[in-house]
């Protein structure tokens, strides 16, 4: 078994372990054996509600959303060849949030929110891509335009939050922090459907990304159709990020940080590195959710606050290493 396979096994064990902890731990104590039994083969009974209606869907959503975000981050970082890029930094999440807040602010049905968020994310991606296109694609330009769009949309959100009645927009403010509590099986199903479609595409794109990494000239010489494949990577990465914002809300730093950790553990991009990234995404989100649930229990924090608190220091450490290297 090679190094990446070993790392993946450890990460998979981590996902399983943290998922079980997530089922067991809570305000209402459930013995580990009963928790697993209730979730897997012995539905009904004393713990049915707390396990199968509250904790199991939440844990499942954390696992799936973690996979989506981390995979999305890896696609973007490899495409743009910059470890400090992720969909949330170039404004995809903010685009989704702006659309979601707009829906709530003008008083439309809150059930439209996930669709609006998804549409907002994709529309933002299209705008960023179109504005950064100047006789060809440039990763650096895409990032700069993205950061600009991100700032602009943040301003729009703030404006809406202060301009519209607080009873309408307070729900939006809460959603914007990215919380996993209240996750339902419907949410899990939405994420699962997106993953079934997009994750195999991401795995197929790995071989192409490995070629695109070698630079435009070498990639063209190896028979790579650059523009089509870039579009495919961006569409897949945006889709993965957008579905999470739509279902859970924006969860910062997962897409930025996890691929970086996976690469520094397992080296240059392979299918194995994508698998490891996906698993570590679940690990990070499960841990963040546990901390969010238990740190100030019974008060529950939004998971997005915890991922940001985990990501901030890590990002600073990475930047420090960069500075030393330069």
Partner 1 sequence: MRSDHKFDPVLAADRASRNPGDASGRSRPVLSTENLDAGYGGPLVLHGLTASIPSGETTAIVGANASGKSTLLRALARLLKPARGVVCLDGADIHSQSTRSVAVQLGLLPQSPRAPEGVVVGDLVRRGRYPHQRLFDQWSKADERAVVRALELTGLSDVGDRPIDELSGGQRQRAWIAMALAQDTPMMLLDEPTTFLDIAHQVEMLDLLARLNRSENRTIVMVLHDLNQACRYASHLIALADGRIEAVGHPSEVVTAEMIERVFGLRVSVISCPVSGTPLCVPHTHCY
Kindly list the residues in this chain that would bind partner 1 in the complex (CB under 8 A): 81, 135, 204, 207, 210-211, 213-218, 220-225, 263, 267-270
Q: What angle do CA 30, 35, 38 make, to 5 degrees?
A: 125
| Residue closer to partner 1 (CB basis): 121 or 212 | 212
Taking the alpha carbons at both ends of the chain, their separation in whole angstroms is 36
- For residue 77, the minimal CB distance to partner 1 (Å) is 11
- For residue 265, the minimal CB distance to partner 1 (Å) is 11
- For residue 213, the minimal CB distance to partner 1 (Å) is 4
- For residue 272, the minimal CB distance to partner 1 (Å) is 12
| Residue closer to partner 1 (CB basis): 55 or 208 | 208
Neighbours of 245 (CB within 10 A): 31
Q: How far is CA 45 from CA 39, 40, 186, in A?
A: 11, 13, 22
Question: 195 phi and psi, to 5 degrees?
Answer: -65, -40
| Residue closer to partner 1 (CB basis): 121 or 262 | 262
| Residue closer to partner 1 (CB basis): 223 or 313 | 223
Q: Which residues of 265-289 are buried (b: 16+ CB within 10 A; e: fewer)?
A: bbeebeebbbbbbbbbbbbbbbbbb
- For residue 58, the minimal CB distance to partner 1 (Å) is 36
- For residue 217, the minimal CB distance to partner 1 (Å) is 4
Q: What is the rounded distance in angstroms from the CA atom of residue 164 to the CA atom of residue 154?
A: 16
Question: 182 phi and psi, to 5 degrees?
Answer: 90, 5
Q: Is 12 exposed, middle or buried (0-12, 13-18, 19+ CB in 10 A)?
A: middle
| Residue closer to partner 1 (CB basis): 162 or 268 | 268
| Residue closer to partner 1 (CB basis): 30 or 74 | 74
Q: How far is CA 283 from CA 5, 10, 11, in A?
A: 17, 11, 7
């Amino acid at each position: 078994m090679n190094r990446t396979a070993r790392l993946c096994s450890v990460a998979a064990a981590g996902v399983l372990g943290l998922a079980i902890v997530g089922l067991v731990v809570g305000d209402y104590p459930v013995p580990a054996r009963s928790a697993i039994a209730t979730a897997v083969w012995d539905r009904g009974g004393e713990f049915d509600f707390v396990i199968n209606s509250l904790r199991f869907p939440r844990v499942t959503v954390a696992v799936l959303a973690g996979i989506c975000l981390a995979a999305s981050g890896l696609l973007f970082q490899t495409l743009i060849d910059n470890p400090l890029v992720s969909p949330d930094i170039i404004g995809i999440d903010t685009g989704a949030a702006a659309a979601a807040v707009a829906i709530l602010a003008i008083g439309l049905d809150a059930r439209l929110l996930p669709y609006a968020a998804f549409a907002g994310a994709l529309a933002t991606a299209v705008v960023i891509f179109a504005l950064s296109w100047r006789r060809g694609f440039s990763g650096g330009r895409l990032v700069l335009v993205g950061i600009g769009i991100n700032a602009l949309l943040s301003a729009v959100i703030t404006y809406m939050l202060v301009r519209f009645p607080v009873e309408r927009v307070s729900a939006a403010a809460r959603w914007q922090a990215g919380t996993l509590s209240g996750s339902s099986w419907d949410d899990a199903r939405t994420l699962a459907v997106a993953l079934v479609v997009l994750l195999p595409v991401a795995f197929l794109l790995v071989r192409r990304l490995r070629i695109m990494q070698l630079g435009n000239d070498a990639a063209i010489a190896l028979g790579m159709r650059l523009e089509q494949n870039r579009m495919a990577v961006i569409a897949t990465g945006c889709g993965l990020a957008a579905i999470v914002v739509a279902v859970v809300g924006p969860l910062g730093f997962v897409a930025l940080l996890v691929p970086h950790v996976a690469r520094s553990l397992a080296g240059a991009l392979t299918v194995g590195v994508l698998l490891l990234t996906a698993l570590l995404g679940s690990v990070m989100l499960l841990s963040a959710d546990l901390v969010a649930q238990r740190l100030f229990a019974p008060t529950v924090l939004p998971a997005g606050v915890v991922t940001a608190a985990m990501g901030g220091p890590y990002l600073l450490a990475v930047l420090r290493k960069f500075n030393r290297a330069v």
